Amino acid sequence: MGTNEELLAYEIEKALEKAESVEEYKKIIRIALGKWLSNLQSGEIKLNSVSDLKVLIEADLMLKEIED
């Protein structure tokens, strides 16, 4: 019976690690997106670099899908 409990504990630990990783990735994306918007407002980034924003938005959407 100990092996089932160990397997369950392992699966719980992995699920928690995954959740923590997703939260960390979301924080990084929010920070990067904030910096990108700040740079856009200050004129450091021109509209021709919208692909950077697209990548950040797509990454955020992917993480939201993982979360559901």
Burial of 18: CB neighbours in 10 Å, binned 0-12, 13-18, 19+: exposed
What is the Cα–Cα distance from 61 to 22, expressed in whole angstroms?
A: 12
Q: Is residue 43 helix, strand or coil?
A: coil
Mean of all residue pLDDT scores within the chain: 83
Q: What would the two tokens of residue 20 be? A: 């923590």
| Residue ranges per structural domain of the chain | 19-67
Predicted local confidence at residue 36, as pLDDT: 82
Question: What is the model's pTM?
Answer: 0.59
Listed as ranges, residues in the chain with pLDDT below 50 are none
